[in-house]
Amino acid sequence: MARRNDERRAALVDAAIEVLAKEGARGLTFRAVDTEAAVPAGTASNYFANRDDLLTQAGARVYERLQPDEATIARQRASTPDRETYAQLMRELIGRISSFRTGYLALLELRLEATRRPGLRAVLTERVRADVDANVAYHEESGLPGDATAVRLLYLAFNWLIVEQLTLPGVFSEAERDRLVEAAVERIVTP
């Protein structure tokens, strides 16, 4: 029974992500989540204490789904730690995020909602800070060129590139995006 409840909760959180991406934070209601998840009315309200709980869990789930799989991590660790490898890692990251378009759009909605909800802001701030710190730590352990500042600068630059790709995909072609990634790594990451 517990496994079924965990699966149902995950399905509801995934449905919340889809609702956030389609309708925005204002459209995120328990009823909308129930409809998106194709479950009986009232199901979401049985799994989440309130809307803030649902928002917070949706944000956590986006990050969970964006994590690379073990095979990708192993391949990355076995690669030569140079700028070309770094650029390849960034292209893969942007590709992974772009393939989960609704997740990233939901995350943008959550960030906007966090400007109005201090509790959500605290949770997202903690999560994003931990993510940045984990990226810096991974970078330092990997032996890739550059320093913590380079990691943070690339994080900032690529976040906006991702926003551009997901919201206005006609601004840059995929080939242009790849060239921009290579140029950013070349200019920001010093050997």
Reply yes or no on whether the pLDDT at 184 is more than 90: yes
**3-class SS at 190?**
coil
pTM for the whole structure: 0.87
111 confidence band (pLDDT: 50, 70, 90): very high
Question: Going from the N-terminus, what domains does the chain have, and what CATH number goes with each?
Answer: 1-66 (1.10.357.10), 68-191 (1.10.357.10)
Residues 41-49, mean pLDDT to the nearest whole number: 96
Q: What is the pLDDT of residue 47?
A: 96
Q: What is the pLDDT of residue 76?
A: 87
Range in 63-67, 162-166, 186-190 with the lowest mean pLDDT:
63-67
CB 110 within 8 A of CB 120: yes
pLDDT, tens digit, 9 for 90 and up, residues 50-85: 999 999 999 889 988 998 889 988 888 899 999 999
Phi, psi of 147 (to 5 degrees): -125, -175
Residue percentage of the chain with pLDDT more than 70: 98
Reply yes or no on whether the pLDDT at 4 is more than 80: no
How far apart are alpha carbons 89 and 155 in whole angstroms?
A: 12
